[in-house]
Amino acid sequence: MDLGTILGLVCGVACVIISIFIGDGELKSYWDLPSVFITVGGGICSALINFRLKDLIGVLKATKKIFTDKQSSASDTIAMLVKLSEKTRREGLLSIEPELEQMEDPFIRQSLQLVVDGIESETIKDFMDTEIENMQARHSKGQAVYSMLAGIFPAWGMIGTLIGLINLLLKLDDPAQIGPSMSVALVTTFYGSVLSNFVCAPIAGKLKMKSDEEVHMKEMIAEAVISIQAGENPKMLEQKLSIFLPPEEREKEVRNTEETTDNSASA
């Protein structure tokens, strides 16, 4: 569970509601079904025109990723890859084949299977690069949809406001209707701004962040797979992969390595 996303949504809604009450407003004044219809419905229709229907359906499935945090630990992945490297150095590449079936990450499993099958390093590198590029292309669709909605919802909110103002002008002969009609006209602009800046733009940003993290992880894995095939020294591999870690995790990894070395020496 991505606690940041949950906290952001809950606290954001709370901020809006509290600000309404502090200003002596009423929640019911901010609810208008026609405004919801024109803002949300119009934005969705624009997305249907701009994107393929299957892409939009796929984006709905991808949206749940912003509420989950299933990203594998880079440190754990490095430790696993270094362990495989040590085993291949001692027993050969074929020795890791039984372990591949139990690996949950299909990218690691498929890449190492190519290594075990004796495929050339250039072919394996091309395979991994293609996998990463295709993944980025899939992820970019979700980001593009939410970025487009972030730009289009305020426009539809303004369209709803214009419709409300036109209806308002038709009621100028009744002064009692001017205030409520103006309020309803502005509510659509409110909806468009909230949907854009509180929902769509942050979701697009979160999807991009998670995509960048996954690409970074796969690039690290690709580097390790090629090194394992080349029979590189496990210690050198560990130092190379530690470059992919944030500074604080890198220092922790170095300390753990030093402690392991000291324990081995004392034993």
**Residue 81 burial (10 A CB sphere; 0-12, 13-18, 19+):** buried
- Band of pLDDT at residue 86, cut at 50, 70 and 90: very high
Q: What is the pLDDT at residue 182?
A: 80
pLDDT beyond 50 at 67: yes
Q: What is the number of domains present in the chain?
A: 1
| CA 160 to the chain's CA centroid | 31
φ and ψ of 102, to 5 deg: -95, 0
Domain for residue 167, yes or no? Answer: yes
Domain for residue 152, yes or no? Answer: yes
CA distance 160 to 243: 52
The model's pLDDT over 7-28, given as tens digits with 9 standing for 90+, comes to 999 999 999 889 888 877 788 8
**Mean pLDDT over the full length of the chain:** 86
The model's pLDDT over 171-205, given as tens digits with 9 standing for 90+, comes to 777 777 777 778 778 899 999 999 999 999 999 99
Q: Which tokens in the block code for residue 105?
A: 């990450």
- In this structure, the number of other CB atoms found within 10 A of the CB of residue 190 comes to 17
The model's pLDDT over 121-165, given as tens digits with 9 standing for 90+, comes to 999 999 999 999 999 998 999 999 999 999 999 999 999 999 888
Domain for residue 218, yes or no? Answer: yes
Percent residues over pLDDT 90 in the chain: 49
Domain for residue 58, yes or no? Answer: yes
Q: Which range of residues forms the domain containing residue 100?
A: 32-67+75-258
Average pLDDT of span 76-82: 90
Q: Which tokens in the block code for residue 76?
A: 């754990």
Domain for residue 46, yes or no? Answer: yes
Domain for residue 251, yes or no? Answer: yes
Q: What is the pLDDT at residue 109?
A: 92
CA distance 155 to 48: 16
